Amino acid sequence: MRPTAKSLILDLLSTLRRGSMPVRALVSAGTLFGIPDNNLRVALARLLATGTVERDERGRYRLGPAAQAVDQQVVSWRRIEERAGRWRGPCGWLGVHTANLPRARGPERRRRERALLFLGFRELSPGLHVRPDNLTAGASGAREQLAALGLGSPAPLFRLSELDPATDRRARGLWDVAALRAGYRDSLRDIASSEARVPALPIESAMVETFLLGGRVMRQIVLDPLLPEPIAPAAERRALVDAMRAYDRLGRTCWAEFLARHGVPHLRNPVDLRVGEGIRATTTPATGEAA
């Protein structure tokens, strides 16, 4: 699926190490994906109006305050394993109670869903979302992240302990582990195939391929629920993160000349993250797979 004008702008601006990006770079990148100049400029104006991007004194653009929380969550993909710790089993779950939140629609509802999805929560019963209590940041860290990502307040987050056996089994079944593992293997295969193919492609085609595939895999990693070993083995997830680090270096090589030509100091490879348009990936019932 090709990026929209809005998502492409946000994905390119998220690569900046410092400074900002000129409009001509955004427009030029848009042509690679068949996005008309006017569409891109209209999307840029709308993002500016909402504070999602901001303009400096030279008329160049960077991410604005409204995009920072999601961007920080996404850029942590390289260190995602550091977020997962040991789990105490049935005596350790985190719960979020959302039933008393004011009714939300549109962008606000998507922000809430995205916040819970980023931290791997799934709905155990109406208004109660849970996940294993194995995040190294603990309950307080999860609470801060959910608030920053737009869950809303008040939405109590708390520890659950001593679930009865039936509820514990039901909680463990909220994630389709077989689908998660199949997703790891599929992405590892796709990365290996692309790594063999990209060096022989025209540079524009290589830029597009690494942008689309790299973005898909990064989204998969960022949205991974980080399930503990008793529920899902972690070795395949770690292997995917390692493979993506190498693929990211390949993507940097493909995009380096383009970004240098436009005077853009970049921190990482441009990829199709799809994190700026509300909730860019959702989960199907009882799976961790991105839809």
Strands, DSSP E only, in 75-232?
93-97, 122-125, 128-132, 157-160
| 285 pLDDT higher than 60 | no
Report which of residues 233 and 274 the model is more confident about. Answer: 233
pLDDT of residue 212: 94
Rounded Cα–Cα distance for residues 16 and 106 (Å): 29
Distance, CA of 184 to CA of 207 (rounded, Å): 23
- Measured CA to CA, the distance from residue 290 to residue 111 in angstroms comes to 16
286 pLDDT band, cuts 50/70/90, is very low
Domain-located, residue 218: no
Percent of all residues in the chain with a pLDDT value above 90, rounded to a whole number: 62
Domain that holds residue 96: 84-172
- pLDDT per position as a tens digit, 165-178: 999 999 999 999 99
In a domain, 201, yes or no: no
For residues 109-120, give the mean pLDDT: 91
Asked if residue 163 belongs to a domain, the reply is: yes
Region 78-106: mean pLDDT is 87
Global pTM reads 0.86
Half-sphere exposure of 103 (CA within 13 A, CB side): 0
Q: How many domains does the chain have?
A: 1
Residue 134 resides in a domain: yes
Whether 94 is in a domain gets the answer yes
Query: Mean pLDDT score of the chain, rounded to an integer?
Result: 87
pLDDT at site 76: 80
Rounded alpha-carbon distances, angstroms, from residue 38 to 24, 45, 155? 12, 11, 41
For residue 102, tell me if it sits in a domain: yes
Contacts of 30 (CB under 8 A, 6+ apart): 5, 8, 36, 37, 39, 40
Band (267; pLDDT cuts 50, 70, 90)? low
pLDDT at position 78 is 86
CATH of the domain at 126: 3.30.70
